[in-house]
Chain A
């Protein structure tokens, strides 16, 4: 498959990339790992005149400790997120979810920032980011701003990133020592989730954060479940009862892999499983 012809730019700094973005406006598209953008171009569902590759901007790559948070550069690959010691220690949930993205080849190419900016409602990283209260650092012509996870995901494939802006890094508040599990439900291994549940819990259980993947047009929090779990004991019965609330307020799609009511059922079952595993129960 052959995309429509485009110009290719490879800036070496964020400033240069922003300038190119400013110059070409909505005729330009940012290229991160290309794992979502290239299929779209090759299927000719989109045809930007200019593609701006962030691959040459080394400052966008890597993970660092920043006091009460860890900071993940937008161009850090899924593979690196999965394996990084800081992620293991302070945001285990992200490591678990990154491990479930697609297959090894795609994890070595696809990026954390690219996946979140792409905002596929079935993407595996949105729900954990939301559950962990991630903060998105977005840079534009006028400088940097930080957007809370709850405000970042706007709709299907739509985020708070403006047309002239770039997502540079994501701050993840430390959840040191929290148990975590990402329960992904698929029919074949390399698939996007039909439904997935991201759960991370402190103790057993002082506090719980539960994110839902593919249960609406954006990642969602299972707030009612979280409330019911806070201060509860991690017994199978108790968790299952709390998980019964997981589908409240969700609006999942219906497609070849399942109708909405089935997805809601899955959300409840998978929430119980994810929380129990996260709590080590």
Chain B
């Protein structure tokens, strides 16, 4: 047995290199696309080039005759066994929800929607044949864009009679968490400050590294689906609920999954089609999307218009906030589609003590790709709005933006604090995080340089942006989800298996897709159970192994899944103690547990827990009142969210001649409670920051008026690389405010960087040129928008730039003339 004494004193807090990285980085592992089964067939999808059209006919004859094609199926070839794509979170009882067939037979509602599937012996043959499927469409008018949708002139789904899906309202005056916001605004109009703004949250594309892929094997007693998904458990439930296959006959496996960022928190048409085809043909099938398909048809994120009214007294103390969101759901209401903007409802008041608050969210349907969760999901949008407004308020009052925040934030003595949105923040210390960030950033020196450049009229101006964010994470207390009409709970499950040799397998219902759970969870178990880190194996993502779980999203895995794990480990220790007392012929009361060993107080007698595992396996000698097993399970339902927070400071240089912006310095001081693995946390923060900065500066999914995705490749959808970012200054508070609602004291960190950074960057850009009369730049802050704002020609740098792509891969250019098949049949191929 391994000597437990040799292991380091504490795993928690240690910069462990991630043990999963070797296989993930080298690719020597099982991604869905490299699963090959005997007799496996390959699918290619035929997608609509039109945003809205009736399908008048689908001629599959030529495709069927293509070499090695096994079947070509369109919507009318399927019945109820195809199932439907579900919306698990109807936000109001009267929500208008369009029927979402994985493959509609009659009408398509966005460009990229699947109208037929080709099944062939190789992926190449399937793709070749897909170009031969001749679909005839009758084009219908398409509604693109939130403001057009609200007019209800052109309808995304004519049968619904309106594009307005649901209106969700929270009013502090009605709920009793605050006063009447209209009264506050009224007062401020005569005797205070009212700031009214409209901000645009542009549409984003999650752009995970591994495209979505699905394999279905219908042979055997359970039908097995491998999918590049974040949510194997929810996927299994939804397959059972919609396709008539009993849950017990379904096994879902999320093997190693290459990123998700919310983009794989979905139950997809592609999965449902693969499922139906495999069952129909009784053969294993595989479908892996191309990057073009991924950008076009995997769900998009954000896409809101925010209409905001902030009321304050003359000193800049906020008296009320009114928020109206119009949120674009796209063509269908995806699995948690409507719920994403609603999550923001609880975060607009952020770290502040607002006396009154009203939030309305109007969701609308358009003929575009459906939207759903993207890193932060609802909370980045809220944080953006309020942190932009606080900078505007500071400018109005004429004080430093840090000062205006201090006048409004919850002080550290005031925790626990119940907010105007009704949440109870357990701990936090905004003063400490701000002080540390300020110092590390060199705030005063940069402000001095800003003034100097301004005085000198330098071509390059400097701006400083602030974002003091908090978020609710650890989704979620099941009762809260129930009260919001969400279709499931928010608990998590864990099992600990003490193997015969003393090694440990732990099983978690969380489903990692790049986060490093295997390492962090091993560290937790090593410390708590007292076994070496190397002796712990973390299993996840297969419903046959991890039979219970609610998967990974919403910064929940550590704070909810980790707590379930802690509780399961504690149960193991309890059982082991009973066995130890029996074997040591001592009373349980006299046993001490430390470093993986039970010892009898005052003697040198003892036994290691790993030895007890072997003893339980042998079962030669154990107490009458116990089963011969140390294994234990726990299901944990959180009692509250947790509330990481931080102060982010960003310095941006703006070239006033060209409008180009350049990051000069970025400091963040996050308070995320107890840190299990600082290296993993740094990775989450750095990656999160880049994604948030990318929304501020680069990324935007653009559809033209006809509903075609113009930013349909990475040439036009600008994803930054390391060459575009600087080295971030990531610090943490010296004394973290430890979360009080879980044993480990941890808070979520998976989304923090993304939530906090976007407003910090835009605030900095605006701050650099505010003296030129500018108070907003629309995201992404392109050089052209900044330049136009400086020219004063258009408010907010809004442009009427035609939504056209660069011509590198344009169809029909001289050097890339179209070829027969690809383009001459209403674009039926891709």
Task: Mark contacts of B807-821 with chain A using CB atoms, 8 A cut-off: 1 yes-contact digit, 0 otherwise.
Answer: 111110111111111
Task: Mark contacts of A198-228 with chain B using CB atoms, 8 A cut-off: 1 yes-contact digit, 0 otherwise.
Answer: 0000000000000000000000000000000
Task: Identify the stretch in A17-25, A43-51, A93-101 within 8 Å (CB) of chain B at 4 or more residues.
Answer: A43-51
Task: Mark contacts of A132-151 with chain B using CB atoms, 8 A cut-off: 1 yes-contact digit, 0 otherwise.
Answer: 00000000000000000000
User: Which of chain B's residues have a CB closer than 8 A to the CB of A155?
Assistant: 814
- B299 near A: Cβ within 8 Å? no
Question: Whole-angstrom distance between the alpha carbons of A187 and B719 in the complex?
Answer: 10
Contact A265 B787 (CB under 8 A): yes
Query: Is chain A's binding surface mostly helix, strand, loop or mixed?
Result: loop
User: Which of chain A's residues have a CB closer than 8 A to the CB of B821?
Assistant: 4, 47
Contact A254 B802 (CB under 8 A): yes
Question: Whole-angstrom distance between the alpha carbons of A191 and B290 in the complex?
Answer: 21
Partner of A45, one of B710, B800, B806, B811: B811
Question: Whole-angstrom distance between the alpha carbons of A278 and B96 in the complex?
Answer: 63
Partner of B819, one of A4, A192, A258: A4
> How many Å from the CB of A184 to the closest CB on chain B?
12
Which partner residue on chain A sits nearest B67 by CB separation?
Answer: A5
Partner of A43, one of B292, B700, B782, B817: B292
User: Which of chain B's residues have a CB closer than 8 A to the CB of A265?
Assistant: 787
Which partner residue on chain B sits nearest A265 by CB separation?
Answer: B787
Tell me the chain A residues, 45-89 only, with Cβ under 8 Å from chain B: 45-47
Task: Mark contacts of B787-810 with chain A using CB atoms, 8 A cut-off: 1 yes-contact digit, 0 otherwise.
Answer: 110000000000111111111111
Contact A4 B721 (CB under 8 A): no
> How many Å from the CB of B653 to the closest CB on chain A?
15
Contact A187 B718 (CB under 8 A): yes
Question: Whole-angstrom distance between the alpha carbons of A118 and B128 in the complex?
Answer: 26
Question: Whole-angstrom distance between the alpha carbons of A258 and B230 in the complex?
Answer: 37
- B545 near A: Cβ within 8 Å? no
> How many Å from the CB of B506 to the closest CB on chain A?
39
User: Which of chain A's residues have a CB closer than 8 A to the CB of B830?
Assistant: 43-44
- B106 near A: Cβ within 8 Å? no
Task: Identify the stretch in A8-16, A119-127, A170-178, A244-252 within 8 Å (CB) of chain B at 4 or more residues.
Answer: A119-127
Which partner residue on chain B sits nearest A117 by CB separation?
Answer: B815
Question: Whole-angstrom distance between the alpha carbons of A190 and B724 in the complex?
Answer: 9
> How many Å from the CB of B812 to the closest CB on chain A?
8
Contact B710 A157 (CB under 8 A): no
Contact B711 A256 (CB under 8 A): yes
Question: Whole-angstrom distance between the alpha carbons of A269 and B790 in the complex?
Answer: 15
Contact B658 A185 (CB under 8 A): yes
User: Which of chain B's residues have a CB closer than 8 A to the CB of A253?
Assistant: 804, 807
Question: Whole-angstrom distance between the alpha carbons of A156 and B806 in the complex?
Answer: 12
Which partner residue on chain B sits nearest A189 by CB separation?
Answer: B723
Contact A157 B816 (CB under 8 A): yes
User: Which of chain B's residues have a CB closer than 8 A to the CB of A257?
Assistant: 782, 784, 806
- B301 near A: Cβ within 8 Å? no
- A255 near B: Cβ within 8 Å? yes
User: Which of chain A's residues have a CB closer than 8 A to the CB of B291?
Assistant: 1
Interface residues on B, range: 35 or more
Contact A156 B808 (CB under 8 A): no
Question: Whole-angstrom distance between the alpha carbons of A120 and B715 in the complex?
Answer: 14
User: Which of chain B's residues have a CB closer than 8 A to the CB of A39?
Assistant: 808-809
Contact B718 A185 (CB under 8 A): no
Which partner residue on chain B sits nearest A4 by CB separation?
Answer: B128
Contact B815 A269 (CB under 8 A): no
Which partner residue on chain B sits nearest A255 by CB separation?
Answer: B804
Question: Whole-angstrom distance between the alpha carbons of A132 and B437 in the complex?
Answer: 51
Q: Known interface pairs A158-B815, A258-B801. Does A5 touch B124 (Cβ–Cβ under 8 Å)?
A: yes
- B829 near A: Cβ within 8 Å? yes
Question: Whole-angstrom distance between the alpha carbons of A46 and B697 in the complex?
Answer: 33
Question: Whole-angstrom distance between the alpha carbons of A5 and B125 in the complex?
Answer: 9
Which partner residue on chain A sits nearest B710 by CB separation?
Answer: A256
User: Which of chain A's residues have a CB closer than 8 A to the CB of B417?
Assistant: none
- B375 near A: Cβ within 8 Å? no
User: Which of chain B's residues have a CB closer than 8 A to the CB of A269?
Assistant: 657-658
> How many Å from the CB of B784 to the closest CB on chain A?
5
Q: Known interface pairs A45-B818, A185-B660, A259-B799. Does A122 touch B806 (Cβ–Cβ under 8 Å)?
A: yes
Partner of A192, one of B702, B715, B723, B813: B715
User: Which of chain A's residues have a CB closer than 8 A to the CB of B718?
Assistant: 187-188, 191
Which partner residue on chain B sits nearest A266 by CB separation?
Answer: B658
- A40 near B: Cβ within 8 Å? yes
Partner of B806, one of A40, A118, A255, A259: A255
Which partner residue on chain A sits nearest B819 by CB separation?
Answer: A47
Contact A259 B801 (CB under 8 A): yes
Question: Whole-angstrom distance between the alpha carbons of A36 and B816 in the complex?
Answer: 10
Contact A189 B721 (CB under 8 A): yes
User: Which of chain B's residues have a CB closer than 8 A to the CB of A185?
Assistant: 658, 660, 783
Contact B292 A259 (CB under 8 A): no
Question: Whole-angstrom distance between the alpha carbons of A45 and B724 in the complex?
Answer: 30
Question: Whole-angstrom distance between the alpha carbons of A219 and B806 in the complex?
Answer: 16
Tell me the chain B residues, 392-450 only, with Cβ under 8 Å from chain A: none
User: Which of chain A's residues have a CB closer than 8 A to the CB of B713?
Assistant: 43
- B315 near A: Cβ within 8 Å? no
Question: Whole-angstrom distance between the alpha carbons of A120 and B806 in the complex?
Answer: 10
Partner of A256, one of B658, B697, B803, B822: B803
Question: Whole-angstrom distance between the alpha carbons of A47 and B829 in the complex?
Answer: 13
Partner of A259, one of B657, B784, B805, B829: B784
> How many Å from the CB of B810 to the closest CB on chain A?
8
User: Which of chain B's residues have a CB closer than 8 A to the CB of A262?
Assistant: 784, 787-788
Partner of B804, one of A36, A256, A270: A256
> How many Å from the CB of B754 to the closest CB on chain A?
18
Contact A44 B801 (CB under 8 A): no
Contact A192 B806 (CB under 8 A): yes
> How many Å from the CB of B328 to the closest CB on chain A?
19
Contact B809 A254 (CB under 8 A): no
Task: Mark contacts of B106-139 with chain A using CB atoms, 8 A cut-off: 1 yes-contact digit, 0 otherwise.
Answer: 0000000000000000011001100100000000
Q: Known interface pairs A44-B131, A185-B660, A262-B784. Does A255 touch B829 (Cβ–Cβ under 8 Å)?
A: no
Task: Mark contacts of A154-180 with chain B using CB atoms, 8 A cut-off: 1 yes-contact digit, 0 otherwise.
Answer: 011110000000000000000000000
Q: Known interface pairs A1-B290, A256-B805, A259-B799. Does A45 touch B816 (Cβ–Cβ under 8 Å)?
A: yes
User: Which of chain B's residues have a CB closer than 8 A to the CB of A156?
Assistant: 807, 813-814
Question: Whole-angstrom distance between the alpha carbons of A103 and B720 in the complex?
Answer: 13
Which chain A residues have a beta carbon within 8 Å of chain B's beta carbons? 1-2, 4-5, 36, 39-40, 43-47, 103, 118-122, 155-158, 185, 187-192, 194, 253-259, 262, 265-266, 269-270
Which chain B residues have a beta carbon within 8 Å of chain A's beta carbons? 123-124, 127-128, 131, 290-292, 657-658, 660, 697-698, 700, 702, 710-711, 713, 715-716, 718-721, 723-724, 782-784, 787-788, 799-811, 813-822, 829-830
Between A and B, 28 residue pairs with Cβ closer than 8 Å are A5-B124, A5-B128, A36-B815, A40-B816, A43-B292, A43-B830, A45-B818, A46-B817, A103-B723, A121-B807, A122-B807, A156-B807, A156-B814, A157-B814, A158-B814, A187-B718, A188-B698, A188-B723, A189-B721, A189-B723, A192-B715, A192-B808, A194-B783, A255-B801, A255-B806, A256-B702, A257-B782, A258-B783
The 8 closest A-B pairs by CB, nearest first: A47-B819, A189-B723, A157-B815, A158-B814, A255-B804, A157-B814, A1-B290, A258-B784
